[in-house]
Amino acid sequence: MENNTRQLPPHVFVLFGATGDLAHRKLFPALYQLEKKGLMPEGLSIVGTARRDYTTEAFRDEVHKALLSFVKEGVEDDVWARFAPRIFYVPGNVDNEDDFRKLHQFVLDVESKKDHEGNRLFYLSMAPRFFGETALYLKKVGLADTKGWRRLIIEKPFGHDYKSAAELNDQLSSAFAEEEIYRIDHYLGKEMVQNIEVIRFANSMFEPLWDNRSIASVQITSSETVGVEDRASYYETSGALRDMVQNHMLQMVMMTAMEPPSRLHTEAIRDEKVKVLRSLRAYKEEEVGQYVVRGQYTAGEIGGKAVPGYLEEPGVAPDSKTETFVAAKLFIDNFRWAGVPFYIRTGKRMPVKSTEIVIQFRNMPKHLYFNQDGNLGPNLLVIRINPVEGMYMQMNVKRPGTDNVVVPIAMEFSQSADKSPEAYERLLHDAMHGDSTFFTRWDEVSLAWKFVDPIAHAFANNTVPLHTYKAGEWGPKAAHDLVKEQPGLWWPLYGNESPMDNLEHATGHPVEVKR
């Protein structure tokens, strides 16, 4: 893994889909931040391409406008003055071989002006149907024949199922070696997702407890308040299962459950993650209904504002069966995790935007102390990924006074998310340095699809009921039934709030805990 302050290596960064939404909202702002941090060397040039007929000058103006809209803290003139001359644009259609030849010549011209050490990084920020064909053209016209290194960054989604993912992978592999392919999962660029490993493997207090002897269950939730927005054409073919579960949710399961790697080396880490997927209990299509719940939002209210149901969203078929919510109970059948349920849950139009991992420890073998409910709340370790970056431990202490009542408290750590680099900045930085630790390897992607495919078939064949939930609720009732036996509830998520302000869930009653 690389040092974040080291200068980036010289190279030409070729961005396909340079006029698109992702490029404007995420990629150019991320590149700007790398410039601002002084990490870009003299020989680093950015060549954007798409069909729109811009000149380089007009494209630089577009990028400047995008930065003004999407760089939160504003654009500094001196940084822009350094950044702008690196940016070039050449129009082209990825269906057209001649346009690839023009692009090749353009890149050679850019390379002739400064020493880029013959390195090229290609980023495919386009509709996925173009990924395979673009990689093949890169090889065919010689763009991928470099004097230095070459790398290919691929956006999501990587296939629609195992079969299409394998076909795509075959196409990519005929032009690039596996170690040259960087498959993006932006959750792996999130500060606290990367921190899971550090929390686990740099603290001697957690690792001895990190197994089925001490942990009763794990809950991983990624909830969003937004609906489908203007992405219905994509989302209607994807749904929450392919959009969130196959990639981000399973990545968080892997990070939470993996064994310690033998060393902090990319392949050693990825090997351990893959082993988790190999141990993940696969469900046959006919079993899916016992372990997986799907839902679709209906009209409701979020933050006091009325919002339409999924079926009323623009571009959604009036009889659409696309799921906007998935909850599932997973088992990792290895020595460490046998018998521990891993619950995952993700949905749109839920009450708060939040991603959290809740590790629930086993109860004491015998209760000597009780809360006012006559119970004792469990210990929790909660890793907060978004919007707050941090973690807290929920423990029991004596309520001050003479009544010997025990109350839950939260020992809390949080850091300002504003200071953390955005996921795309970190991932671009890593790819430029050739560090693929936080990108997904083909065996991870393929196993994730093999796990998801029977669930997708069960959804497509309506073997699993499609429940509804009102926008602003925590998914359908069936999702609550999934956890009914153990632990009995989905632990609340706090969004931007502090758990210290709201601990009543631990006892079922409000408790008086003040900071």
Ligand X SMILES: O=C1O[C@H](COP(=O)(O)O)[C@@H](O)[C@H](O)[C@H]1O
Would you count residue 313 as binding ligand X (CB under 6 A)?
A: no
Element (H, E) at 29: helix 28-36
Minimal CA–CA distance to 29: which of 58, 56, 1, 69? Answer: 69
Is residue 190 helix, strand or coil? coil
Residues 104-163 binding ligand NDP (CB under 6 A) are 125-128, 155-156
* Residue 65 binds ligand NDP, judged by CB under 6 A: no
User: Using the rule CB under 6 A, which residue among 94, 326, 456, 506 binds ligand NDP?
Assistant: 94
Question: Active-site residue 11, yes or no?
Answer: no
Selection from ligand NDP, ligand X, none that 386 binds (CB < 5 to 8 A by kind) is ligand X
Q: How far apart are CA 295 and CA 326, in angstroms?
A: 6
Residue 424 token pair: 């795309």
Cα distance between residue 135 and residue 19, in whole Å? 19
213 binds, among ligand NDP, ligand X, none (CB under 5 to 8 A by kind): none
Per rule CB under 6 A, count of chain residues that contact ligand NDP? 20
CB of 265 to ligand NDP, least distance (A): 28
Count helices and strands in the chain by DSSP H and E runs: 15, 17
DSSP for 128-146, written as a single string: GGGHHHHHHHHHHTTTT--
Of positions 155, 191, 224, 323, contacts ligand X by CB under 6 A: 224
133/139 Cα distance (integer angstroms): 10
For ligand X, the closer of residues 33 and 355 by Cβ is 355
Catalytic residue among 24, 104, 248, 505: 248
> Tokens in use for 262?
């033998």
| Mask for 7-36, x = binds ligand NDP (CB under 6 A) | ----------xxxxxxx-x-----------
Based on the shown chain and the rule CB under 6 A, indicate whether residue 444 belongs to the binding site for ligand X.
Answer: no
Residues 203-222 that bind ligand X (CB under 6 A): 222
Q: Is 190 annotated as a binding residue?
A: yes
Amino acid sitting at position 33: Q
Q: Closest CB to ligand X among 19 and 386?
A: 386
Helix (H, G, I), strand (E, B) or coil at 113: helix
Judged by CB under 6 A, the chain residues 486 through 505 that form the site for ligand NDP are none
Sign of CA dihedral 314, 319, 322, 323: positive
Interaction partner, residue 50 (ligand NDP, ligand X, none; CB < 5-8 Å by kind)? ligand NDP
Annotated binding residues for NADP(+), written as ranges, equal: 51, 156
Return the active site residues: 248
Footprint of ligand NDP (CB under 6 A) = 17-23, 25, 50-52, 93-95, 125-128, 155-156
Annotated binding residues for substrate, written as ranges, equal: 186, 190, 224, 243, 348, 353
